[in-house]
A and B are shown apart, each in its own frame.
Chain A
Amino acid sequence: MLNEIVFYVNDKKIVFNGNPLTRLIDVLREDLELTGVKEGCGEGECGACSVIKDGKLVTSCIIPVGAVNGSRIYTIEGIRDTEKGRCIIEAFAEGGAVQCGFCIPGMVMAAYALLSSNPHPSEMEIRKGISGNICRCTGYDLIVESIKLASEKGGELWA
């Protein structure tokens, strides 16, 4: 390909020289072995592949890598050991949000994006914030509760 694509994944510089139409999820999962990013539907409907691109929650299965030139991408691997990431993950565990777990890394990313922009969301705001993330196991109540818990426990973290 003519142009190389340069972007950052979890603060690491990535130079991509392949086909710019390659899906971002494939670059993340296969080239970078970031398998915490899950493929649930391949069409941007389920949110299992959610990552944060330049501060916004996006589904990496419908983004061509050519569209992330110059972007900063964070996956679950990039946030799980940060203070905020740990806060959400521990709240998910404590609150019973995790069942089969396949949607959960994406759900954690959605919670991260939500709490970063709205530190103390109401129940409805939480439900809206994760409405692009499908879970077949939990019926969502305990995920919503867990995000509320992360918001409370995180306190200043989210301010």
Chain B
Amino acid sequence: MPHTAIDDKVVRVDALVKARGEARYVSDMSFPDMQYAYMIRSSIPRGTIDSIRIPELPEGYWFISAKDIPEEGKNELWMIQKDWKCFAEGDVKYVGETIGLLVGPDRNMLSYLRDKIEIRYTEAEAAITIDEGLAVKGGPIVGEDNVMCSLFVEKGRPMEEVFREADSVFEETIETGFQEHVHLETNGAIITIEDGKYTFYASAQCPFYIRKAVAGLLGLQPEDIVVKQTTTGGAFGGKEHFPDVLCGPLLVAEHKIRKPIKLIFDREEDMLYSVKRHPAKVTYRTALDKDGNILGIDGVVVYNCGPYLSGSFVVLQRGVFHANGVYDIPNTHVKGIGIATNTFPSDAFRGFGAPQTLYAIETHMEHIAKKFGYDPAEYKSRYFIKQGGETITNGHIVEKVVLPEMMKQVVDASDYFRKSKEYAPGSGKGIGISFYNHGGAFTGNGEQAIIKAHARLVKTGEKVRIEVGSTEMGQGFQTSLRKIAAAALGISIDDVSYDNPDTSVVPDSGPTAASRSTMIVGRLIERCAEEMKERWEEGDFSVEKEYEHPEGHPWDQNTFRGDAYLGYGWGCCIVEVEVDKLTREVKVTGIWSSHDIGKAIDELIVHGQVNGGIVQSLGYASMEKMENRNGHFRQSSMSDYVIPTSMEFPKQEWFLVDNPYEWGPFGAKGMGELVFNGADAAYIDAVERALGTEIHRIPMPPEDLEEVLRNA
């Protein structure tokens, strides 16, 4: 077979099996004598459990709760911290907190029994919104002030000095809402016992996270637990830490029941009782000179975390580190606060904290430009950071920044400047533009200090097997990785195999998150392949590599100073709209984007990621409204939480620039999150222009647009 070159067009290795309906997702699997589980959850956002009344259970039915955790175990899920309990005990802190697991052979009987369970509470006053959390409504949930995590970064001169010199100060607050992942496959897992070990089959991004999170429940070590990832039907961050919340109770149940147990959320459960994107409130106070030049920006970024930490501090850090967007602002001070509330805990979602602040800074920059009569594109481009430029964390941009070239691509293709001049504010037609980036991989030296990823290649005859802990969840990783290995080895992609990770077989390559898999794990595989190629004639052998951090990139995780990321992906997006003056329906008439991802490992996969990321971002800005009233999410189905269909947005025009990245495989950088990070701001810019108004929050469905216009 001919060897595969990196630029060859290949067919995604998982495409046929999925399109034929042969791929096995966790809900498609069953085992002999399999039992089913239903989660029993709190129905109030905050209070104390007074009593749990369980109906008499027929033989073979079980109610599993905190009481079933053995003496040697602890009722905690070890995510980053251990604050999130496996089962609520005494207090409940959010609607949907796990109280128990109902297990048995027949689902009809289970749902009958579920309705008979009576839980009585003494309800306490809950804090739901960011403002309520900050005001410590109902008393503190965490510490004394509900501040779950915080940090600040500063660059340049002291803010008082900068603001003293200002001719004017412009301050505004920009807000973003919850967003639900709506991976088409809901959350689910099966536990069983294989070869004497507790074994999970799970729809998950991070199999190694699961074993670490749950082992302590039975006083075990992570190695005592096996996790086998099943074909995962979308994740977007929603299956990063959250599978731990399903797998913990399953493990406790399995300890008692010792039969295969399957727990699959239905869509309503997945909507109401799963993690969401953090709602944010971002306030910028900007010092300006008389011509509208920026002297400095003072920012406060607040994220609504819910009552447990999960990934929130890392999300908040990323939010703060992206709070000045793609701009080199001479003086900045940004404070980040993660506030505890009684909502379902917020957690990872594609972009991981960056989309909120990027949307905010783009909108803020655009508002300043318009106030001073500049075109937003032209105004923003004056501040583009360059290679070597100082970042918000006093580090430096390592790579060549080609934003001007990217801007030219989309500006020319969309005829932006002509339309920008022609479409008068309020004319019903508008065009908007945004610039954005995304730091690849873990923050700072996290790849070295925290993860130390491993990857392995195993050669048997003329065939090579990839062994990594990183997962395919739809993003195309499996194909990209096989392509990297094949191209580096000079063999055909058909001679390289990859199986969904099984933690008892593969090394820990770190989580499949942070746009790090191709960039970091792909590079490890490339290094394995380079060595394997040299030793090819040695027969059957394997090569394993550990991550090596490039030298000369200081980072202090205590002060958050230094090179926060080793490389960024960069993006530019233009959106054109027409708004119906009567109904406020927004019709998107054009979408143009350009991205710098270093180098595309597979252009067709990248094409799909660009399209999908942009549509998800446009949904976030325009229609995906998830409201929380008194701790309860109001949208419980796909008919009331509406995500884009094939009719919403037109065909996209997209560009890439070639800008190989020194430490990535074949020059590739991360890209899965980048493509989510900017279409929202371009869309809102366009809608603002079409209506001649200012918008300060997303999502912005037509009914909310009406309200904005009424209050303008």
Contact surface of A with B, Cβ cutoff 8 Å: 29, 34-43, 45-46, 48, 75-77, 80, 88-90, 92-94, 96-105, 108, 123, 126-128, 130-144
Contacts and interface: CB of A to CB of B under 8 A. Distances in A.
A132 B651 CA distance: 18
Interface string B452-466: 000000000000000
Given A77-B21, A141-B652, A99 B647 contact: no
Given A40-B267, A99-B475, A137 B612 contact: yes
Contact of B233 (A41, A101, A127, A141): A101
A71 B12 CA distance: 36
B21 A80 contact: yes
Q: Which of B183, B611, B639, B643 has the most CB of A within 10 A?
A: B611
Nearest to A30: B30
Nearest to B17: A101
A158 B361 CA distance: 51
Nearest to B16: A93
Contact of A138 (B182, B608, B639): B608
Nearest to A95: B604
B639 A99 contact: no
Contacts of A108: 19, 21
Contacts of B184: 38, 40, 46, 48, 100, 102-103, 134-137
B267 A93 contact: no
A131 B645 contact: yes
Given A98-B12, A99-B476, A141-B611, A39 B27 contact: yes
Contacts of B651: 123, 141, 144
27 contacts: A36-B22, A37-B21, A38-B21, A40-B267, A76-B21, A89-B19, A98-B12, A98-B15, A100-B184, A101-B19, A102-B234, A104-B21, A105-B20, A127-B647, A132-B645, A134-B645, A136-B181, A137-B234, A138-B608, A138-B612, A139-B613, A140-B615, A140-B644, A140-B646, A141-B651, A141-B652, A142-B607
Given A77-B21, A98-B12, A143-B646, 16 more contacts: A35-B24, A45-B638, A93-B12, A93-B16, A96-B605, A99-B234, A100-B18, A101-B14, A101-B19, A104-B18, A104-B19, A105-B21, A127-B646, A134-B184, A140-B611, A141-B607
Nearest to B271: A41
Given A96-B604, A134-B645, A36 B234 contact: no
B353 to A, nearest CB: 20
Contacts of B637: 41, 43, 45
B52 interface: no
B236 A136 contact: yes
B446 interface: no
Nearest to B476: A99
Interface residues of B, number: 56
Nearest to A105: B21
Nearest to A145: B651
B616 interface: yes
A153 to B, nearest CB: 14
Residue of A100, A103, A108 ringed by the most chain B CB atoms within 10 A: A100
A34 B202 CA distance: 21
Nearest to B475: A99
B551 to A, nearest CB: 37
Contacts of B685: none
B342 interface: no
Contacts of A88: 19
B267 A42 contact: yes
A32 B183 CA distance: 26
Contacts of A39: 27
Interface in B394-428: none
B288 to A, nearest CB: 38
> Which 3 A-B pairs give the minimum distances between C-beta atoms?
A36-B21, A100-B474, A101-B18
B19 A93 contact: yes
A101 B231 contact: yes
How would you classify the secondary structure of chain A's contact residues: helix, strand, loop or mixed?
loop
B608 A96 contact: yes
A35 B24 CA distance: 8
A132 B92 CA distance: 39
B25 A102 contact: yes
A45 B15 contact: no
Contacts, number: 175
A103 B611 CA distance: 16
A137 B474 contact: yes
A134 B16 contact: no
Contacts of A89: 16, 19-20
A92 B21 contact: no
B20 A76 contact: yes
A105 B611 CA distance: 20
B673 to A, nearest CB: 14
A40 B547 CA distance: 38
B19 A136 contact: no
B473 interface: yes
Contacts of A37: 21
B232 interface: yes
A104 B233 CA distance: 10
Contact of B643 (A38, A92, A136, A138): A136
Contacts of A36: 20-22
Interface in B229-250: 231-236
Nearest to B23: A101
A135 B235 CA distance: 13
Nearest to A43: B637
Interface in B592-631: 604-605, 607-608, 610-616
A68 B212 CA distance: 48
Contacts of B181: 136
A98 B22 CA distance: 13
Most buried by B among A34, A40, A97, A143: A40
Nearest to B27: A39
Contacts of B614: 139
A61 B635 CA distance: 20
A139 B21 contact: no
A136 B181 CA distance: 9
B28 interface: yes
B649 interface: yes
Given A42-B267, A43-B639, A142-B607, A100 B12 contact: no
B474 A131 contact: no
A155 B646 CA distance: 24
Contact of A139 (B22, B27, B182, B652): B652
A18 to B, nearest CB: 12
B607 A102 contact: no
Contact of B185 (A40, A105, A131): A40
A102 B185 contact: yes
A16 B15 CA distance: 34
B11 interface: yes
A136 B611 contact: no
Contact of A131 (B20, B28, B473, B646): B646
A138 B649 CA distance: 12
B266 interface: yes
Nearest to A108: B19
Nearest to B473: A100
Contact of A94 (B11, B186, B473): B11
A35 B476 CA distance: 23
B18 A139 contact: no
Contacts of B27: 35, 38-39
Nearest to A102: B233
Nearest to B108: A19
